[in-house]
Amino acid sequence: MSYSDKIKDVIGDADVALFMKGTPQFVMCGNSDRALAALRRAGAPVTAVDILPDPQIRQELSQISGWPTIPQVFVKGELVGGADIVEELEASGELEQTLRAKLGDDYASSRSERTVTLA
């Protein structure tokens, strides 16, 4: 089966999409943890997708995004980057600026975090 349509739906629909190894409740990789922590510090409303249940998910995600590694963070459909970039942007305050610009000033008010299962 193909995951591409589901992946594109999440990227297109979620305010902030985080494709990661594991879930926010049970993170399976240091880099996914770094990205999640930076997003949480910025108060981002994260929709998390675990790519581990099927290797095909990661393959199709990287074909769509042109980004070879996990995690991958998208804001309003646009690739922001992996853990290094998200950490760098969070530290400089640019992540918060981007979230504010794309989601509105009250983006952090919902404090929502959800997990989507593809497989």
Partner 1 sequence: MSTQPLRDLLEHAFPDATELDVVDRTGGGDHFQVVVASPSLSGLSLVEQHRRVYEALAAPLADGTIHELRIKTKGTA
Q: What residues make contact with partner 1 under the rule CB under 8 A?
A: 30-31, 66-69, 79-85, 88-89
User: 3-state SS of 15-71?
Assistant: CEEEEECEECCEECCHHHHHHHHHHHHCCCCEEEEECCCCHHHHHHHHHHHCCCCCC
Q: Least distance from C-beta 101 to partner 1, angstroms?
A: 15
Q: How far is the CB of 59 from partner 1 (least distance, A)?
A: 12
Question: DSSP label at 107?
Answer: G
Tell the smallest beta-carbon distance from residue 69 to partner 1 (Å): 6
CB-nearer residue toward partner 1: 69 or 110: 69
Residue 6 or 76: the one with the smaller Cβ distance to partner 1 is 76
Length of the chain equals 119
Cβ 111 to partner 1, closest distance in Å?
26
C-alpha span between 15 and 3 (Å, rounded): 20
- Taking the least distance from each CB to partner 1, the nearer of 77 and 81 is 81
